[in-house]
Chains A and B, each alone.
Chain A
Amino acid sequence: MPINNNLFGVYKSVKLGGREVVASSFSRNRNMQASSINYVQGTPKARVMDIGTVDETISIEAPIFVGAGSTVDGRNIANQKIREILNPQTAVLPILTGANFSIGQDASSVSLTLESDGDPNNTTAFEISSSSIEALNPLGTPTRLAKFYDIRVQIGSRKYFVMSATINVAATTDKKYFFIPGDWNDYRGWGTLGGATGYDVATGVGSTNLTIRNADGSPRSGTGITFQPGTQFPFIGISGLKISGNGKAAVLLENLTDSGGTGTSNFLDSNEAINLSLQSGTTDMTLQDPGVVRYENADFRVEIYDPIWHAAQIAGSLNPSAGFGWTSLLSSDIDTSRAIVHTSNFSLTPGLMTVDFNFITWIK
């Protein structure tokens, strides 16, 4: 067999909702609920089918880049989708249901799960092509994987010796289905009118799309007012957003000379422990008091260095024009500075002593 590279994914590129994304893996899963039902029917054979709704989910594992590739990496698409959730008028399918930012010393990545309606006429939710990703052309600015020296952190009192962090952005979506409007006389179904055979095609003329109209007959303006009646595809709504995560940090325990002038072999004196609270009266977690809401006394911060220059550059040019600096790893549209730490698991081994901690943030 001659050479045939068309079988390999590296030659392909993907757009989600019209945006290029470079990833190590994509999966698009479509599912139509279907089962057979038996009734009291005189035979055990499957004679009745229960055919339900359609689900479409998209999963992505994408790296976090520094350089020109930061415009097509996992962080970029995740934050775009988070912005859409916060501002639903701008949302296009697929909708974000979960983004897991995984920050490590050697590599950082984002795992995303998204949801679409499964409509075969929607060609922009998930597009695959043979176009090369131009942002990765090194003649502009080369791209590299984000490393420990690109990311700075402050998770409560923990900012030194932090080894990894994970931030989970979880969106709650709700899917609803409605009956066909009573005065709808056009073709009912998902396909092109009269363009297919093998299933029941109603006769008639008109569009497959319905535009909602006001009582006086004028078309409504706004988004989400056009849909296809008589299909198995859902209306998807966004009903919740929360941000939580966890991290791992090395623990430093050091004997210091205490105020009495003598060192002790325990680590109960002040400043003898970093990332762990052994001193009496100190805490690893954000403990609460009656009638007061306590949050960590340092702002929650996870920031990346210089991923935004490309967004501000001159259109059509690969040369950077914006400055350098630290920016939030998450979308700047949300403020997660207030956080509580609710888990602290100390692990003592002959190697590095570590503490795992979990946190959850308020979202402003």
Chain B
Amino acid sequence: MAYPGILTRAEFATGLVTRSIKINGNYLLVDQCNINQTQEIDTDNNFIQGGPGSSISNIQSKKITGSLSFPIRVNDQYQLEPAIKEILNHAQNPVEVLTMDTNHLLVHTQLTAEYGGTDSNQLLKINSMVVSSLSITCSQNENASMTVNFEGMIDSEQNSDYAVPANFDVLGRALSWGDCNASREESSMRTITSFTLSITNQIETPVFLIPYQTEQSGFASTRNDQIQLLGIKGVKWTGTMTELLRSGVELNTFIHGGWMQGENLTFKIGPITANYITPLFKISQLPLTSSVLTRTTEWSTLMRPNRPSTPNGLFTTV
């Protein structure tokens, strides 16, 4: 008797046999893509109804949300992957949306409340995504990597292009600690052991009642349960770093907090340069342990109010 079930003849999908993704049309090798269409769907039985059974559904708006994590890679010309450039430039200058193509992300654009279940699934281009947060991390024992959180929606139905890679985009290597450098005006920062550079964009995804349209106006009132727009109402550039301490307590590199005008706190990750011109430091934290002493310093940056509205405010790439 044959073994019951599909194990005898199945080829399971894995991340190795499924193509990766494309950002703004550029192929990107990712460690993980956990971006999905999400919607709060639950029942609501808080009514006087003649019994305790859940008989009323509560279906909210839906949107695209999730995260990408990937190594920061360069090709044999030491050029950054184009998709990473697109993400960096968008994150620091969030004035236009990003697009994403995948081979695995199915979505449904009709009203969930009226077309529930399995029909009309589509493999669509996610054509309106914004970065809600981005962080670049590197340490002496790990490669440089980037984690990006997104929010978005399907603005119009476009088929995904199946994310076929170009050879140029795939050949390359991940940047490592040996590709990194850091400095600031008052220190060459030779004892740094890790850093994380972050951008946080505060996203609003409101929904509104449907505008009334008459037949005479030539427009129908289109019903859609997606969020209706993406708004960014706050931008914050932050970071954290750890430094080894040499004996002698490092009297003149301890940061006791506050802003440092023109300090130009700079990190280089291969062809990427991050420059915090006026960092606003928190007080450095130094726990005493039996191991090597490690000091952690966090900061955010002060910037002109409209700085995120123009390109290259924080990151520049070669």
B260-307, CB < 8 A from A: none
Contact between chains at A351 and B204 (CB < 8 Å)? yes
Let me know if B209 and A148 touch, CB within 8 A: yes
- A residues less than 8 Å from B59 (CB atoms): 144-145, 147
Q: Which B residues touch A22, using CB under 8 A?
A: 47-49
- Contact in complex: B208, A105 (CB < 8 Å): yes
Interface flag for A77 (CB, 8 Å): no
Distance (whole angstroms) from the CB of B96 to the closest CB of chain A: 16
- The contact of B209 among A8, A103, A326, by CB within 8 Å, is A103
Q: State whether A69 touches B56 (Cβ < 8 A).
A: yes
A10 touches B208 (CB 8 A): no
Chain B contacts of A305 at CB under 8 A? 223
Asked whether B224 lies within 8 Å of A149 as measured between CB atoms, the reply is: yes
From DSSP, what is the main secondary structure of chain B's interface residues? loop
- CB–CB A163/B209 < 8 A: yes
User: Is A10 in contact with B52, judged by CB distance below 8 angstroms?
Assistant: yes
A22–B224 alpha-carbon span in the complex (Å): 27
A204 at the interface (CB under 8 A from B): no
From residue 12 to 58 of chain A, which have CB atoms closer than 8 A to chain B? Answer: 12-14, 22-26
Q: Does B169 contact A (CB under 8 A)?
A: no
B5-60 with Cβ < 8 A to chain A: 44-52, 55-60
Is B211 in contact with A154, judged by CB distance below 8 angstroms?
yes
Inter-subunit contact A163/B208 (CB<8 Å): yes
Q: Which of A81-89, A134-142, A195-203, A212-220 makes up part of the contact surface?
A: A134-142
Tell me whether B106 is interfacial, beta carbon within 8 Å: no
In the assembled complex, A162 has its CB within 8 A of some CB on chain B? yes
Is there an interface contact between B61 and A13, defined as CB atoms closer than 8 Å? no
Tell me the smallest distance from the CB of A301 to a CB of chain B, in Å: 5
Chain B: minimal CB distance from A130 (Å)? 7
Is there an interface contact between A301 and B212, defined as CB atoms closer than 8 Å? yes
Question: Which residues of B, 222-236, contact A by the 8 Å Cβ criterion?
Answer: 223-225, 231, 233-234
Q: How large is the interface on B (under 10, 10 to 19, 20 to 34, 35 or more residues)?
A: 20 to 34
- From A9, A149, A153, give the contact of B225 (CB < 8 A): A149
Of residues 214 through 267 on chain B, the ones whose CB sits less than 8 Å from some CB of chain A are 221, 223-225, 231, 233-234
B51 and A23 form a contact (CB under 8 A): no
A352 close to B208 (CB less than 8 A):
no
CB contact under 8 A between A303 and B60, given known A137-B55, A149-B225 = no
Measured in the bound complex, the distance between the Cα atoms of B44 and A88 in whole Å is 36
A24 touches B223 (CB 8 A): no
Q: Which residues of B contact A14 (CB under 8 A)?
A: 48
Taking the complex as formed, is B207 at the interface, i.e. its CB lies under 8 A from any CB of chain A?
yes
The answer to whether A235 has its CB under 8 Å from any CB of chain B is no
Across the interface, which residues of A come within 8 angstroms of B206, CB to CB?
A: 105, 163, 250, 352
B residues lining the A interface (CB < 8 Å): 44-52, 55-61, 111, 113, 204, 206-213, 221, 223-225, 231, 233-234
Q: Could you jot down 8 A-B contacts, CB within 8 Å?
A: A63-B56, A103-B209, A105-B209, A138-B55, A142-B55, A143-B56, A150-B223, A249-B208
Contact surface of A with B, Cβ cutoff 8 Å: 5, 8-14, 22-26, 63, 65-66, 69, 103, 105-106, 129-133, 136-138, 142-145, 147-154, 159-165, 249-250, 301, 303, 305, 326, 350-352
7 tightest A-B CB contacts, nearest first: A154-B212, A13-B50, A132-B50, A152-B210, A136-B55, A159-B211, A144-B57
